[in-house]
């Protein structure tokens, strides 16, 4: 997301679950699967408020695997080496002790040479638990390409580092910060999940750049189709921050973090006048609606705290472990609000707990408290996307690994204690790297054709799917884990995957078909290498301590 520090601060499918820790819409009778018209003004109203799905009258869709519920927890801004560079070896000089199981497989991490003789200006250093709060790094579409330096991976300090920032000394920063990493004494829960389930060390940001492109790729495999609009009139406008390389109708590619038009809380609850973005095309929500599969996006702070000028206000805020507060809700972290068909502009609540996951006035957009309520009521949707409030989403500058751990462990613990756990899977994924150092060059599978933004040695000479500029990828390497009774145990998968691999798993599991229009889902690697669907589901439940990440029980 934008580098900023805001001070204050059951239904249609049987009950089996997949939790994707990481990151659709109104009924198909609306006939709208886009962000609005290309030339006229764009309506600020989202999808239908009808309660058609809530009648529970649709036939079930039999999943293609034992997984019948997907819950996606989509984290913020972490490179693979930043969390797993020295896995499974922790220093154990401070923090929560960690000892790996015997025969733990190796990952493609930081070798001794990379730790002591790195080609970058500084060697990587271990960050301690007391340094959990750090400055936010530069994770722009162009700077990340420059850091790669044509595959040499040696220009991170010059291009993505931020070692001085507002919020110091609470926020840690020093020269070479961008190179640094945590180990199992700080990100203890993540390492424990890797020990007991499956970790992928070859997963990538679908394209380079910040949060919004990553979130859009999670649900659509597509960042092209964006359009800049005036926040007051809804009329299309021109804005290079909102949309790159627009065509004659103003349709182009989103590479930055503009707020979504279909959200009352955008532009800091309407206090600023920045142009906003809409997306044309369809996303996984539209496909799930067509199959009458229950689903929802659940985000911290989505529930309004009031109204102003007839619009919802999202004013909830919480402090992180360092005492720095930020607003919980970030509009540009919610990808479904860019699409008219899957938006809930006024942040209307579900009509009942039993309606969660079905089409009603909430249009599948909810607060994280609604997820907890649905789970407690045995009404877990088939597909759920979870997004923590900002203080717990892991984004440097206003969040941190310790607050992130508290959120992830809380949600996973309660899922493991639920009746759905016997067929639940948990995959942890991220929206971008924050610019943090990772030594592994990503494979280039899609080029671009924008000389102003492309690094020729990285993106400029490769085929461009659909002719759409500014979708250079894959981007930086990111963590990806699967936690499930069907996950392989203490397993490291090396399959090349990206954010749209999560999308593809959902598509394949519910036989929705593909997004189309040159979405990355058509080339995405499979998550199946992290599962063993031939085995009986494990009866063990790994319960962790939300504060320390240590194992409480595993039986």
pLDDT in tens, 393-446: 999 999 999 999 999 999 999 999 999 998 888 899 999 999 999 999 999 999
**Burial of 352 by CB count in 10 Å (0-12 exposed, 13-18 middle, 19+ buried)?**
middle
At residue 44, the pLDDT reads 60
84 three-state secondary structure? helix
Distance CA(361)–CA(384), nearest Å, equals: 17
Distance CA(500)–CA(212), nearest Å, equals: 14
Residue 415 is part of a domain; what is its CATH number?
Answer: 3.40.720.10
At residue 42, the pLDDT reads 66
At residue 90, the pLDDT reads 99
Block residue for tokens 């998968």: 493
pLDDT at 260 over 60: yes
Q: Is 9 domain-assigned? A: no
Block residue for tokens 């924050």: 434
pLDDT at 325 over 80: yes
Mean pLDDT over 224-234 rounds to 98
At residue 57, the pLDDT reads 60
Lookup: tokens for 225: 């189709």
At residue 59, the pLDDT reads 74
Mean pLDDT over 317-338 rounds to 97
Mean pLDDT over 101-122 rounds to 98
Distance CA(323)–CA(118), nearest Å, equals: 35
Q: Is the dihedral of CA 166, 170, 171, 174 positive or negative?
A: positive
In the Cβ-directed half-sphere of 473, how many Cα atoms lie within 13 Å? 32
At residue 425, the pLDDT reads 86
Among the listed residues 54, 72, 33, the one whose alpha carbon sits nearest the alpha carbon of residue 509? 72
Among the listed residues 418, 501, 215, the one whose alpha carbon sits nearest the alpha carbon of residue 331? 215
Mean pLDDT over 104-123 rounds to 99
pLDDT at 386 over 80: yes
Block residue for tokens 């190796």: 106
Mean of pLDDT over the chain: 91
Q: Is the dihedral of CA 75, 78, 84, 86 positive or negative?
A: negative
Cβ count within 10 A of residue 103 = 6
Residues 298, 384: contact at Cβ < 8 Å?
yes
Distance CA(428)–CA(426), nearest Å, equals: 7
Mean pLDDT over 385-389 rounds to 98
Residues 447, 464: contact at Cβ < 8 Å?
yes
At residue 43, the pLDDT reads 63
At residue 39, the pLDDT reads 41
Per-residue pLDDT tens for 20-58? 444 333 333 333 333 344 445 566 655 543 444 445 567
Say which range, 23-27, 130-134, 238-242, 326-330, has the weakest mean pLDDT.
23-27
Distance CA(399)–CA(197), nearest Å, equals: 26
Total domain count, the chain = 1
Q: Is 3 domain-assigned? A: no
Question: CA-based angle 316:322:325, to the nearest 5?
Answer: 20
The β-bridge partners of 311 are 308
At residue 462, the pLDDT reads 80
At residue 58, the pLDDT reads 72
Q: Is 72 domain-assigned? A: yes
**Residue 453 vs residue 327, higher pLDDT:** 327
Per-residue pLDDT tens for 196-206? 999 999 999 99
Mean pLDDT over 162-167 rounds to 95
Per-residue pLDDT tens for 439-473? 999 999 999 988 888 887 788 778 899 999 999 99
Lookup: tokens for 172: 């840690």
Per-residue pLDDT tens for 54-95? 455 677 789 999 999 998 999 999 999 999 999 999 999 999
Mean pLDDT over 360-375 rounds to 98
Query: At 74, phi and psi to the nearest 5?
Result: -105, 105
Q: Is 6 domain-assigned? A: no
Q: Is the dihedral of CA 119, 123, 126, 131 positive or negative?
A: negative
At residue 41, the pLDDT reads 57
Q: Is 1 domain-assigned? A: no
H/E stretch holding 277 reads: strand 276-279
Q: 53-71: b or e for each residue (b if 16 or more CB lie within 10 Å)?
A: bbeeeeeebebebbbbbbb
Q: Is 133 domain-assigned? A: yes
276 three-state secondary structure? strand
Question: Greatest CA span in the chain, whole angstroms?
Answer: 63
At residue 36, the pLDDT reads 40
Q: Give pTM, 2 decimals.
A: 0.92
Domain coverage including residue 247 = 18-554
pLDDT band at 2, cuts 50/70/90? Answer: very low
Per-residue pLDDT tens for 478-526? 999 999 999 999 999 999 999 999 999 999 999 999 999 999 999 999 9
Q: Is 206 domain-assigned? A: yes
At residue 460, the pLDDT reads 78
At residue 15, the pLDDT reads 37
- Centroid of chain to Cα 457: 28
Q: Is 2 domain-assigned? A: no
């Amino acid at each position: 997301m934008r580098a900023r520090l805001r001070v204050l601060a059951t239904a249609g499918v049987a009950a089996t679950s997949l939790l994707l820790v990481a990151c659709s819409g109104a009924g198909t009778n609306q006939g709208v699967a886009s962000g609005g018209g290309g030339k006229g003004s764009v309506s600020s109203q989202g999808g239908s408020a009808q309660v058609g799905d809530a009648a529970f009258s649709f036939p079930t869709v039999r999943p293609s695997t034992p997984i019948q519920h997907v819950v996606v927890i989509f984290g913020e801004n972490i490179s693979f080496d930043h969390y797993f560079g020295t896995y499974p070896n922790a220093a154990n000089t401070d923090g929560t002790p960690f000892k790996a199981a015997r025969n733990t497989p190796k990952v493609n991490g930081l070798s001794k040479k990379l730790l002591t003789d790195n080609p970058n200006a500084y060697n990587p250093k271990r960050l301690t638990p007391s340094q959990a709060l750090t400055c936010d790094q530069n994770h722009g579409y162009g700077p990340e390409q420059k850091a790669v330096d044509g595959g040499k991976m040696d220009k991170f300090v010059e291009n993505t580092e931020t070692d001085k920032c507002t919020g110091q000394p609470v926020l840690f920063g020093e020269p070479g910060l961008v190179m640094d990493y945590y180990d199992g004494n700080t990100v203890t829960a993540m390492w424990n999940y890797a020990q007991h389930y499956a970790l992928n060390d070859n997963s990538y940001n679908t394209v380079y750049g910040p949060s919004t492109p990553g979130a859009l790729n999670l649900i659509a495999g597509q960042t092209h189709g964006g359009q800049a609009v005036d926040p007051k009139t809804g009329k299309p406008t021109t804005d290079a921050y909102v949309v790159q390389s627009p065509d004659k109708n103003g349709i182009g590619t989103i590479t930055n973090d503009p707020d979504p038009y279909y959200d009352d809380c955008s532009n800091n609850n309407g206090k600023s006048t920045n142009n906003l973005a809409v997306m044309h095309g369809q996303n996984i929500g539209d496909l799930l609606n067509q199959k009458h599969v229950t689903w929802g996006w659940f985000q911290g702070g989505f529930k309004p705290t009031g109204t102003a000028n007839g619009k919802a206000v999202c004013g909830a805020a919480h402090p992180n472990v360092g005492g720095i507060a930020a607003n919980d809700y970030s509009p540009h972290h919610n990808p479904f609000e860019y699409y008219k068909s899957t938006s809930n502009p006024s942040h209307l609540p579900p009509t009942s707990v039993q309606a969660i996951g079905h089409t009603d006035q909430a249009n599948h957009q909810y607060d994280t408290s609604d997820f907890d309520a649905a789970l407690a009521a045995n009404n877990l949707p088939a597909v759920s996307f979870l997004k923590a409030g900002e203080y717990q989403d892991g984004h440097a500058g206003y969040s941190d690994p310790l607050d992130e751990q508290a959120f992830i462990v809380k949600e996973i613990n309660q899922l493991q204690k639920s009746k759905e756990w016997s067929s639940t899977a948990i995959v942890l994924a991220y929206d971008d790297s924050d610019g943090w150092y990772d030594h592994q060059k990503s494979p280039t599978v899609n080029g671009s054709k924008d000389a102003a933004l492309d690094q020729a040695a990285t993106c400029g000479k490769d085929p461009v799917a659909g002719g759409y500029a500014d979708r250079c990828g894959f981007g930086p390497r990111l963590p990806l884990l699967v936690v499930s009774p069907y996950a392989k145990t203490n397993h490291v998968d090396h399959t090349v995957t990206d954010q749209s691999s999560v999308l593809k798993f959902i598509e394949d599991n519910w036989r929705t078909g593909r997004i189309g229009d040159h979405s990355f889902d058509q080339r995405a690697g499979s998550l199946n290498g992290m599962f063993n669907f031939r085995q009986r589901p494990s009866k063990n439940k790994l319960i962790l301590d939300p504060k320390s990440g240590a194992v409480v029980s595993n039986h």
